């Protein structure tokens, strides 16, 4: 084999690039330099203008894919609740970051650099673009949900305006700027945006419902939609990055941030596609242009200065408009100051059409290098400060760790229960999720434990992709309820998640059912928050989360806990939260949201009687998740209609996802030794005394922990 440079064989090319992706961040981390800069510098070294080890065309495919991936992740990780709430702020910042660079750039290009009108318009429009090169840094620091990041990412749509200006300049240069041109451009952009934002979610929801278990197909499907969106954008006459960003917005609510699919999407992007893009950016840079005379140096200096100053000015005016902190202003500046993708497109097209000369092209290449480095440094430094501030502003969380127990009776249903448990977990919770198998203590117990471990390992394969902390528990006990109850106490469980059992399955016959009489017994000995789940379709396909609260729900011990879980679940799956409750319960929910500084948008509906939930049956669709809060017998929010509630729900909501919640409540106090709560039949007088005892405990709890003054 003849070894010569530049490399031609894909094997050594791919091997070299992978070693750069591996080593550059490790080395530069020791010098506190962002890894992004290391990859750009490495691209400069191996590219056509460095040691010419690899030709840029050799990695163009992966580089282009990486650029689209950055834009896709920006749309996918956007907090849609915050985005909708702050969309006017994104528009304001978008106006600042578009018009200020455009106006300043045009004035400088016309009166200082003495460009003609077309060249001044082209170069000044280039200043208005920004590429989210530093976005992976913000994602790594965990600040993507901060309002400053949301505003900066939302303003990326300004690139569309720049590329539309480019299309107009191109049409004018070719003499095609007529009525037909304007009609064709307008119609194509509207049709393209409608297809991505309306058709893509419909296709995605249908696909995830039909293909439930093939996780590999889910990832390939998402990847295909990203590149299809980019292709449709180019057909419409705008840059593909806009299509990738809109595809991320379209799929945002179908891919929960804690799901295994999201983990795969981020992993592949951060490990391969995005590093390839950053290396390809470095390969464009040619530092030798600075030696071609003073003209190139002056133009490069002026272009870079105007690009950075105008973006800082836009961030500064945004800070003044919305009273942001200096750290937030700098994060906005860092994210919006990098120029790469649209900048290259604008300048190369202008150069090829003869609108600008070689000096401007070379000056733009230097601008790309400097702005990417400045944007990365600023985002990392300001992002760390913002992350510390965010950590101090975290809302109040329930005392103690969150530990989830999943008693398993049917191993085929374990995966959706795990997905549900991970979607409900508060951010930063290190405690593991505990799948539990309880077998009766008889002569076959040893064989059942062995079989259960085998089945459990098979069911947990996909859960490993989420990097969740899973700890299996197998227990031999006299019966299933006692085994669950003892596990709850020994592990310190806060939430119990169970499947809506299908009777007469093989595993039910082996390990016992958790429904019917056994379910009632479990609820009598387990007083922690318990969730009974029937998921016919993946949760990420839910359009609405309909939560039904009984009267006096706010007086139960676990009210705040499960309400926080439902609000978190709504955000994770992108489902609109609609709460049906009484006026007093509505006030309690508002008070809880204020105490936890929640900006959740909730639609409330009057709901006084538990029997009224049947009226909803006509309006509930397959795309809804119906959550009904019940109560254990004898508790404050219990009503007679809750008797056999699971059977009633099954009868009237056959085609919907169902979630039945039994909140954490106060355990019955039985002083007589050897008597279990579930074995007692209380007389009416005893029931009244028990209720009075519970009311007294609630009143004491309210006086011990009065609501905080707002």
pLDDT in tens, 547-606: 999 888 888 888 999 999 999 899 888 888 999 988 899 999 999 888 877 778 889 988
Whether 230 and 243 have beta carbons less than 8 Å apart is answered as yes
Q: Is the pLDDT score of 282 beyond 60?
A: yes
d(CA 339, CA 317): 20
Handedness of CA 43, 48, 53, 59 (dihedral sign): positive
Q: Which pLDDT belongs to residue 589?
A: 92
Q: Is the pLDDT score of 435 beyond 80?
A: yes
Q: Which pLDDT belongs to residue 103?
A: 93
**φ, ψ (nearest 5 deg) of residue 599:** -105, 20
Q: 4 or 307, which is more confident?
A: 307
d(CA 399, CA 402): 9
Of 128-132, 379-383, 402-406, 570-574, least confident by mean pLDDT is 128-132
Over residues 214-220, the mean pLDDT reads: 86
Reported as a single tens digit per residue, the pLDDT across 658-694 is 999 999 987 654 333 333 333 333 444 444 544 555 5
Q: Which pLDDT belongs to residue 397?
A: 47
DSSP designation for 50: T
Q: Is the pLDDT score of 242 beyond 60?
A: yes
As a dihedral over the C-alpha atoms of residue 606, residue 610, residue 614, residue 618, rounded to 10 degrees, the angle is 30
Residue 548 β-bridge partners: 580, 628
Q: 705 or 254, which is more confident?
A: 254
Q: Which pLDDT belongs to residue 529?
A: 93
SS3 content of the chain, % helix, strand, coil (to 5): 65, 10, 30
Residue 606 β-bridge partners: 581
Q: Which pLDDT belongs to residue 457?
A: 67
Reported as a single tens digit per residue, the pLDDT across 291-344 is 766 777 888 889 999 999 999 999 999 999 999 999 999 999 998 888 876 677
Q: What is the mean pLDDT of the chain?
A: 80
Share of the chain above pLDDT 90, in %: 17
Q: Which pLDDT belongs to residue 653?
A: 86
Quick one: pLDDT band at residue 400, thresholds 50, 70, 90? low
d(CA 483, CA 260): 30
Reported as a single tens digit per residue, the pLDDT across 617-650 is 777 888 899 999 998 887 888 888 888 888 888 8
CB neighbours (10 Å) of residue 210? 8
Give the list of residues 6+ apart from residue 508 with CB closer than 8 angstroms, or none: 409, 410, 501, 502
Q: Is the pLDDT score of 286 beyond 90?
A: no
Q: Is the pLDDT score of 367 beyond 90?
A: no
Question: β-strands 602-606, 473-477: how paired?
Answer: unpaired
pTM, full prediction:
0.70
In the numeric block, the tokens 């009687």 are attached to 609
SS (H, E, C) 525-581: HCCCEEEEEECCCCHHHCCEEEEECCCCHHHCCCHHHHHHHHHHHHHHHCCEEEEEE
Whether 99 and 312 have beta carbons less than 8 Å apart is answered as no
């Amino acid at each position: 084999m003849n070894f010569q440079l530049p490399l031609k064989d894909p094997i050594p090319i791919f091997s070299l690039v992978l070693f750069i992706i591996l080593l550059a961040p490790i080395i530069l981390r020791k010098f506190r330099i962002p890894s992004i800069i290391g990859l750009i510098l490495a691209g400069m070294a191996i590219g056509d203008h460095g040691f010419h080890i690899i030709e840029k065309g050799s990695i163009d495919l992966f580089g282009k894919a990486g650029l689209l991936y950055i834009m896709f992740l920006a749309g996918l990780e956007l907090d849609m609740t915050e985005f909708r709430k702050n969309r006017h702020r994104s528009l304001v910042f978008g106006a600042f970051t578009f018009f200020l660079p455009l106006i300043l750039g045009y004035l400088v290009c016309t009166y200082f650099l003495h460009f003609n009108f077309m060249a001044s318009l082209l170069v000044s429009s280039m200043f208005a673009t920004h590429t989210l090169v530093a976005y992976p840094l913000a994602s790594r620091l965990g600040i993507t949900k901060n309002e400053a990041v949301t505003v900066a990412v939302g303003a990326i749509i300004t690139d569309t305006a720049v590329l539309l200006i480019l299309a107009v300049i191109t049409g004018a240069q070719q003499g095609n700027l007529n009525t037909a041109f304007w009609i064709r451009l307008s119609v194509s952009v509207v049709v393209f945006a409608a297809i991505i934002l309306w058709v893509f979610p419909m296709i995605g929801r249908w696909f995830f419902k039909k293909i439930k278990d093939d996780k590999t197909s889910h990832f390939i499907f998402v990847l295909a939609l990203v590149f299809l969106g980019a292709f449709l954008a180019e057909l419409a006459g705008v840059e593909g990055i806009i299509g990738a960003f809109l595809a991320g917005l379209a799929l945002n609510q179908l891919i929960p941030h804690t799901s295994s699919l999201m983990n795969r999407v981020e992993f592949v992007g951060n490990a391969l596609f995005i590093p390839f893009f950053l290396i390809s950016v470095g390969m464009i840079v040619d530092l030798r242009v600075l030696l071609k005379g003073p003209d190139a140096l002056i133009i490069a200096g002026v272009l870079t200065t105007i690009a950075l100053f105008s973006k800082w000015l836009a961030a500064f005016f945004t800070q003044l408009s919305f009273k942001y902190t200096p750290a937030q202003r700098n994060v906005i500046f860092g994210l919006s100051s990098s120029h790469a993708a649209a900048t290259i497109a604008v300048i190369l097209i202008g150069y090829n059409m003869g609108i600008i000369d070689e000096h401007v092209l070379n000056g733009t290449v230097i601008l790309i290098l400097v702005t990417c480095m400045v944007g990365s440094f600023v985002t990392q430094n300001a992002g760390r400060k913002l992350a510390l501030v965010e950590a101090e502003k975290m809302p109040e969380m329930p005392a103690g760790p969150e530990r989830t127990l999943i008693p398993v009776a049917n191993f085929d249903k374990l995966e959706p229960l795990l997905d549900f448990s991970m979607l409900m977990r508060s951010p930063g919770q290190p405690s593991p999720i505990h799948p539990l198998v309880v077998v009766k203590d008889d002569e076959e117990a040893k064989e059942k434990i062995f079989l259960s471990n085998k089945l459990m390992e098979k069911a947990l394969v996909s859960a490993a992709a989420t990097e969740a902390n899973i700890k299996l528990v197998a227990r031999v006990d006299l019966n299933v309820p006692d085994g669950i109850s003892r596990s709850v106490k020994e592990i310190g469980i806060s939430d119990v998640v169970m499947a809506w059992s299908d009777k007469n399955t093989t595993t039910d016959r082996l390990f016992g059912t958790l429904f019917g009489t056994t379910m009632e017994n479990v609820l009598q000995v387990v007083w922690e928050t318990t969730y009974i789940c029937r998921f016919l379709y993946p949760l990420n396909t839910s359009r609405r989360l309909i939560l039904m609260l009984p009267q006096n729900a706010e007086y139960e011990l676990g009210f705040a806990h499960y309400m926080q879980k439902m609000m978190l679940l709504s955000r994770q799956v992108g489902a609109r939260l609609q709460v049906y409750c009484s006026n007093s319960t509505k006030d309690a929910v508002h008070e809880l949201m204020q105490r936890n500084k929640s900006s959740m948008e909730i639609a409330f509906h009057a709901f006084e009687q538990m029997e009224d939930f049947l009226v909803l049956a006509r309006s509930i669709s397959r795309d809804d998740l119906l959550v009904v809060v019940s109560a254990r017998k004898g508790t404050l929010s219990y009503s007679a209609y809750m008797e056999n509630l699971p059977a009633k729900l099954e009868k009237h909501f056959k085609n919907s996802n169902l979630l039945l919640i039994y909140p954490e409540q106060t355990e019955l106090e039985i002083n007589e030794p050897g008597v279990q709560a579930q074995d007692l039949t209380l007389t009416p007088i005893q029931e009244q005394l028990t209720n009075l005892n519970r009311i007294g405990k609630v009143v004491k709890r309210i006086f011990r922990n009065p609501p905080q003054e707002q």
